[in-house]
Structure 1
C-alpha cells in the first residue's frame, strides 16, 4: 500500500530541491578558467556551464552556502519581503516579466514560509486558559449533561415495568449532573478547565466504544467509520497527524488555487497559467506570514490579540486588491470586483484543500 505521508514528504522535498539555486559567486580565489569545465571565464560565472568563476574555501562561506541553499537567505530576501508586503503586484509582475535575479523565487519562498509557519505554531507556548475559556468549557459540559438528561427521560418513558426503577435512578443521576454543571456556568467554583476537558474526553471515548453511542455516526463505509473512531480515541495524536499532513501536502494549495485565479481572466488575453501560478505563490506566502504575525500577537491575548485578528480581516482583501491591480495592470473597478470573487474563490479552494487533508489524514 502506498504511504501517502511519505509521498507528501517526498513531493515537498523534491519541490524544495528543485528551487535551490547556484551560489552567488562573490569574490573569492580568482581563476582564469572554469574549475568545472575548463572554459576561459570573464565574469563571475562560466558562460558555458554556469559554474561560479571563484572558488570559496573558508568556513564562513560554508555557513553562507548553508543559509543560501536551505533558506535563500541573502540580499534578495531583503528585497523580496518588503515588496511582497507593500508592493505585491509589482513583485509578481517583475517576476513574470523575467526580472528575477533580484528576488527570491516564489516557490522557494512559499515552501520555506510554510515550513517556518508550522514550526513556529507547533513550538509556540499555548495560551493559558482564562475566564472566557473556562466558561466556554463549562457551557459545553452543561449542554452534554442536558442531552444525557433528555435521553434518560426518553428511556424512562419507554422502559418496561421491570426496568422502571433503574430508569428512574438514571434520571435522578442525570438531574444531579445537570445541577452541578449549571453551577459552573456564570461563576468560578474552582473547577479547572483541564478537569472538565478530561471528563468530556473520557466520556467521548466511552461513547465510541459502544455500538451506538451519543456520538454515533455513519459515513456509509464501515472501514472508514472504524478509522474515524480510532482517530477520535486519541484526539491529540489525530490533531498532530493532521498538522503533519497539512504541512507535507501544503503544495496542493497551488494546483487547487490556480484554476480559480484563471477564471477571473478567462476572456483576458496575455496571461498564462504560469503568471497565475506566480500570483498564487506570492499571495499564499504573504498569507502564511500574516498568519504567523496574527498567531504571535494572539498569544499575547487581550486587546492586542483582538486588534490583530480584526486588522487581518482588512489586510487580506487589501493585499489581494493591490496585488491584482499591480500584477495584471487593472483599473480600480476591474480590480474591485475581481477581489470580491477572489475572496469567495479562496474560501472554496481552502474548503477543497481541507477536505483533501482530512481524507489524506484519515487514510
Structure 2
C-alpha cells in the first residue's frame, strides 16, 4: 500500500470537505444560545456566526466527521454523480445559475476525485514487459544483418572512390555495423547471465536506461535540461516515482491551463465569464479522471474487458464534451459540434503542456 497516496486521499478529502458549505438536516430544530458567540439561535446554525447549534462531544462523532470529510458521501453526491455522467450540461448550468445546495461543488468534486484516482492507481499491479530471450537475440541479429547489408550497398555505391564523402559514408556504415555487433554480444550475455544493474532484460526499465545512456554518450558532457533529464532517466524506477508524485501534486495545473482554451470558444459571445468556464472545466476533468480509473481497473481485471472499456471510453469522451457544451451553454447542435472538435484538439494541447511542465518539474532540476 502506498502510504503517501493514502495520506493524500485523506488530505484531499478533508480539503474538499472544508470548502463545502455545511448543510443542515431536515427535522432538526435546535433552539437556545450559541456556544460560540452567545447569540440566540432558532435553527440548525447560528445566524450570527454560522456555527452549528448542536455541538457533539463524543468520540463517535469525531470519527464521523473524519469519514464525512474524507468520503463526503452525503445525499448531494448521489444527485451529482448521475448528472455528471449522464447530463453534465445540466449540472454545469444549474451550478452556474446558483442552484448549488443540492450538488457537490465542482472544486470539491475535482479535488477529491484526483486524490482518489492516484490512490487507486497506486494499487494497480505492475507487469514489466520482458521480451523472451530467443526473440531478443533474433531481433538484434536481424538489425545486424540489415546494417551489414547497408554497409555492402554503400561500398558498392562508392566503389573505387576515395573522395571525403565516400570515406565518410563508408566509415559511418561501418560504425553502425560495429555498434550492432557489440549490441548483439551484450544481448546474448544479458539473456545468458542477466544484466549487471539487476534490471530485467527487455523490460521498459532496461530499454529506457539503455536509451538514456546512449543519448548521454551522443550528447557528451553537456549541461541544461536535456542533460539533467538523461541523467535521471538512467534510474527508470526513481524517475517514474518522481513523475508520479509530481503529477499527483500538480494535477490542479490542468484547470488554469484549460480555462483559457474554453474561453476562446466563446470569445465573441456575451454572458459567459471565466467562472462559468472554470465550472465547466472542473466538472469535465472530474469525469475524465473517473473514466480513467474505470479504464485502468477494467484493464487490470481482464485484457478483453479492458480493451472494450478503453475503446468505449475514448469514443465517449467527445460525446460527453458535446453534451456538456450543448446543455451548459444553450448551444445549437451545430455550434456545440464544431466547438467539440476544437475542444478535443485543445485537450491534446493542454495535455502536451501539462506533461511538459510535469517532466520539467519532476526531472528537469
- Number of the residue aligned with 1:86: 86
- Number of the residue aligned with 1:196: 202
TM-score (norm 1): 0.76
Within 5 Å, give how 1:184-223 maps onto structure 2.
Answer: 194-197=200-203, 200=207, 203-204=210-211, 207=214, 210=217, 212=218, 216=219, 222-223=223-224
- Number of the residue aligned with 2:283: 282
- 8 Å contact 1:149–1:174 — kept in the other structure? no
- Number of the residue aligned with 2:357: 356
- 8 Å contact 1:256–1:349 — kept in the other structure? yes
Q: 1:111 to 1:139 in 2, by over 3 A?
A: farther
Matched, 1:59 2:59: yes
RMSD between aligned residues = 4.0
CA shift, 1:35, in A, is 1.4
- 8 Å contact 1:110–1:282 — kept in the other structure? yes
TM-score (norm 2): 0.76
- Number of the residue aligned with 1:112: 112
Separation in structure 2 between the aligned mates of residue 329 and residue 135 of structure 1, nearest angstrom: 56
Matched, 1:33 2:33: yes
Q: 1:151 to 1:280 in 2, by over 3 A?
A: farther
- Number of the residue aligned with 2:296: 295
Q: 1:356 to 1:70 in 2, by over 3 A?
A: same
Within 5 Å, give how 1:68-79 maps onto structure 2.
Answer: 68-79=68-79
- Relative to structure 2, which stretch is displaced further, 81-90 or 24-33? 24-33
1:248-273 deviation line (CA, Å, top 9, x unaligned): 11111111100110111111111110
1:82-106 deviation line (CA, Å, top 9, x unaligned): 1111111111111111111111111
- 8 Å contact 2:12–2:115 — kept in the other structure? no
- Number of the residue aligned with 2:341: 340
Runs of 5+ unmatched residues, structure 1: 1-8, 160-166, 182-192
Separation in structure 1 between the aligned mates of residue 276 and residue 361 of structure 2, nearest angstrom: 29
Separation in structure 2 between the aligned mates of residue 137 and residue 340 of structure 1, nearest angstrom: 46
- 8 Å contact 2:41–2:47 — kept in the other structure? yes
